[in-house]
Copies of this chain bind each other. A is one copy, B any other.
Amino acid sequence: MNNKASNNKASAGRFFEDFSLGEQIYHATPRTITESDAALYLALTGSRFSLYCNQEFAKRLGFKASPIDNFLVFHIAFGKTVNDISLNAVANLGYAELQFYIPTFAGDTLSVMSEVIGLKENSNGKTGIVYVQSKALNQNGHTVLSWKRWVMVHKREQQMLNSFEVKPQLDPKIALDSLSVPLGYSSQNYDPQVSGEKYVLNDYQLGEWIDHIDGISIDDTQHTMATNLYQNNAKVHFNQHQMSNSRHGQRLVYGGHVISLCRTVSHNGLANAQWLSAINAGSHLNPTYAGDTIYAASQVLEKQNLGSGVGVLQLRTLGFKNIQWQAMQSQFEMELDGKKSFHPQLVLDLNYSVLIPA
């Protein structure tokens, strides 16, 4: 950052001082999503959910074709915001109120814009928290998804601005019966022999934990190719030369790649939970590096029958590294002096809602 010449045309990214409340930011390089992105996503994550890789299956569910995986759509939309919001982020603190409205198909072009909805200085004078609400529109101007997110951002100079602190309201979850169901979606011709499991809404019990058993190891190329695919250019993922001097000593895996790997292994036990409707809350609790092996387990938090054969599960999926659920199960969350603390190998805590046949 300190090598930015004063009149250099290249940008070193925004700092905390560069954000103002209510500001509207149009994010550059909207991009067209293709079926090639879907194939690459599959190769980079190993995803096996039928809706996204089987045209015949998708058509029987009422889609005109296989939609682009909503997790992939989110990563691409999110990636657009990085250059303006989080290029100088210390940490992604959280997501909330992420909701999908309509499917994205190969050929659609997504544009993303954000509004600054909250600002809060940290008392150290070095950083602040920026809250944004972002949305992605397709080429027809329809909103595909929207979400809120907050990040800790470096200040350009250490100082207290003593600006008003504005924290936006963040709903802990989107009510299950207010979720958007894709137009024409029907589970009537749903074939569990194709999707791989027989379990539907009624088979899942509130509070039930599912150990997804399998682990997937991460290599540097996989996470950087995935992150490139999303055109997310955050320096921490790509620049080994700089990261080797950081406290990490190496490149950080984009948290979204960890989300995708947890989703992949969750196929084993949740194969019919196909359409991602909402992410209610998400936190990256510890960093992930190349060489780590990701495991996951999911708990059923809520469920609801939306009628017409459509059900929705609200799930909590935990991702952890280099340890299996059997060992992690009893110790992932602890109270220390009345304060919640997380196991150092716990990397993800994701709360989300997915459609499932009822």
Contact = CB atoms under 8 A, between A and B. Distances in A.
Interface of A: 2-5, 8-12, 26, 28-32, 34-40, 42-46, 48, 50, 53-57, 66, 83, 107, 109, 111, 139, 193-197, 199, 203-204, 208, 210-217, 219-222, 224-226, 228-229, 231, 233, 235, 238-242, 251, 268-271, 291, 293, 322, 324-326
Nearest to A241: B293
A140 to B, nearest CB: 11
Contact of A210 (B10, B211, B242): B10
Given A28-B195, A239-B293, 8 more contacts: A3-B211, A9-B208, A10-B210, A46-B228, A46-B238, A214-B233, A214-B238, A217-B238
Majority secondary structure, A binding face: mixed
Nearest to A240: B217
Q: Which 8 residue pairs are nearest across A and B when measured between Cβ atoms?
A: A28-B196, A36-B39, A241-B293, A10-B269, A217-B240, A221-B221, A3-B326, A36-B36
A238 B295 CA distance: 12
A31 B46 contact: no
Contacts of A29: 48, 50, 53-54, 194-196
A10 to B, nearest CB: 4
Contacts of A48: 29, 231, 233
21 contacts: A2-B326, A3-B324, A4-B211, A4-B213, A9-B204, A10-B210, A10-B211, A10-B212, A29-B194, A31-B54, A32-B55, A34-B36, A43-B225, A43-B229, A44-B225, A46-B238, A55-B107, A56-B109, A215-B241, A215-B242, A242-B293
A44 B43 CA distance: 10
A123 B124 CA distance: 68
Contacts of A217: 220, 224, 238-241, 251
A238 B219 CA distance: 10
B30 A268 contact: no
A56 B139 contact: yes
A44 B204 CA distance: 40
A325 B3 contact: yes
Nearest to A290: B219
A44 B36 CA distance: 13
Given A10-B269, A39-B36, A193-B26, A238 B215 contact: yes
A288 to B, nearest CB: 13
Contacts of A109: 54-56
Contacts of A239: 214-217, 293
Given A54-B31, A56-B32, A211-B5, A83 B196 contact: yes
A221 B221 CA distance: 6
Contacts of A219: 219-221, 224
Contact of A268 (B10, B32, B36, B53): B10
Nearest to A218: B240
A57 B40 contact: no
